[in-house]
Amino acid sequence: FQLFIGWEGVGIMSFLLIGWWYGRTDANTAALQAILYNRIGDIGFIMAMAWFLFNTNTWDLQQIFMLDPNLTNLPLLGLLLAATGKSAQFGLHPWLPSAMEGPTPVSALLHSSTMVVAGVFLLIRFHPLMENNKTIQSLTLCLGAITTLFTAICALTQNDIKKIIAFSTSSQLGLMIVTMGINQPYLAFLHICTHAFFKAMLFMCSGSIIHSLNDEQDIRKMGGLFNAMPFTTTSLIIGSLALTGIPFLTGFYSKDLIIETANTSYTNAWALLMTLIATSLTAVYSTRIIFFALLGQPRFLPLTSINENSPFLINSIKRLLIGSIFAGFFISN
């Protein structure tokens, strides 16, 4: 029950924060859209709660796991629906790119690291039940694989920095769901933690870029920032490298382990193939961001006040940078 309180509360906060600039109609519709998809997921949550109440007489996780009910198809399906809604998996995904109407710190916090992983977290919490149910595992696997591939392809064609990063988040979430599908809750959790670092940093960097270019979000209008904003550039490059899973940065410890486990486990070949393609696409769209935003000749208006002077921004990015590089190592040892 308490989980449900937090679940709904987070949904409402998302609504309020996406609609932060409430004078803007797009923001309001995006906020409403977020709530719609979240609520559809909540139906699944409520269905799972109802099933648990009547078949195990409790909402308490410990008791449910001790009782170990058979035939857990229905509640786990409900939980999967809830995760789909909250974590923007394939059927209920449009709200995440629209959620980029909110301010960048909101995107950094909610929609990359903490809130969207609530869905995956829910599945992790219920993994003792999922271990016994092969159908649900296959379902999560396929769902995650479709999500990863689909959103990675979408990210290739986007022109707005924040939307690219949003689709990238969606893709990584799909990866986490795939990890749940191959019955590795601990790996999924590890990926949640590491992903948080570099994704949040990517968002903050993009925020810094957007702000210094005077609210310009289209990457076709950026370029040549390599020399103009050195610190942001470095963090962006390191973040992208971590995202793709370059050895010994953070992403490696979780992402590579996931790929290895998927390869060596007895699992659905199609899902595996889609995941691998999606992972390679990660590298592609990250390079795209770097190429358009940082390299080449400047394509923005000449009279901009590019600066990296705000200590708040720089300090936050600095801390996330250190985390992106070292956190993987520290967490897994």
Partner 1 sequence: MLKIIIPTIMLMPLTWLSKKNMIWINTTTYSLLISLISLSLLNQPSNNSLNFSLMFFSDPLSAPLLVLTTWLLPLMLMASQHHLSKEPLIRKKLYITMLTMLQTLLIMTFTATELISFYILFEATLVPTLIIITRWGNQTERLNAGLYFLFYTLMGSLPLLVALISIQNLTGSLNFLLIQYWNQALPDSWSNIFLWLACMMAFMVKMPLYGLHLWLPKAHVEAPIAGSMVLAAILLKLGGYGMLRITTMLNPQTSFMAYPFLMLSLWGMIMTSSICLRQTDLKSLIAYSSVSHMALVIVAVLIQTPWSYMGATALMIAHGLTSSMLFCLANSNYERTHSRTMILARGLQTLLPLMAAWWLLASLTNLALPPSINLIGELFVVMSSFSWSNITIILMGTNITITALYSLYMLITTQRGKYTHHINSIKPSFTRENALMALHMTPLLLLSLNPKIILGFTY
The nearest distance, CB 20 to partner 1, in angstroms, is: 10
In the bound state with partner 1, the residue whose beta carbon lies nearer, of 1 and 312, is 1
Max CA pair span of the chain: 67
To the nearest whole angstrom, how small is the minimum distance from the Cβ of residue 138 to partner 1? 23
Q: Are 216 and 126 in contact (CB under 8 A)?
A: no
Residue type, 174: G
Q: Is 82 in the site for partner 1 (CB under 8 A)?
A: no
**Residue span binding partner 1 (CB under 8 A) among the ranges 17-25, 145-153, 187-195, 307-315:** 17-25
Binding segment toward partner 1, per CB under 8 A, in 19-27, 147-155, 233-241, 287-295: 19-27
Give dist(CA 153, CA 168) in Å, integer.
Answer: 10
Nearest distance from C-beta of residue 121 to partner 1, angstroms:
17
Residues 25/26/31/36 CA torsion (nearest 10 deg) = 100
Nearest distance, CB of residue 105 and partner 1, angstroms: 20
Residues from 31 through 60 that contact partner 1 (CB under 8 A): 31-32, 35-36, 39-40, 42-44, 46-47, 49-51, 53-54
The smaller minimum CB distance to partner 1, of residues 33 and 168, is found at 33
d(CA 263, CA 64) in angstroms, rounded, equals 32
- Pick 59 or 326: Cβ nearer partner 1: 59
For residue 269, the SS3 value is helix
Q: CA-CA distance, 148 to 142, in Å (whole number)?
A: 10
Chosen residue from 8, 160, 218, 308 binding partner 1 by CB under 8 A: 8
| Nearer CB in complex with partner 1: 43/67 | 43
Tally Cβ neighbours within 10 Å of residue 66.
11
Binding partner 1 (rule: CB under 8 A), the pick from 14, 18, 19, 71 is 19
Number of C-beta neighbours around residue 315 at 10 A:
10
DSSP 297: S
CA distance 2 to 236: 38
3 state SS of 219: helix
- The first and second tokens of residue 289, run together, are 């961001």
Residue numbers at the binding site for partner 1 (CB under 8 A)? 1, 4-5, 7-9, 12, 15-16, 19, 22-23, 25, 28, 31-32, 35-36, 39-40, 42-44, 46-47, 49-51, 53-54, 74
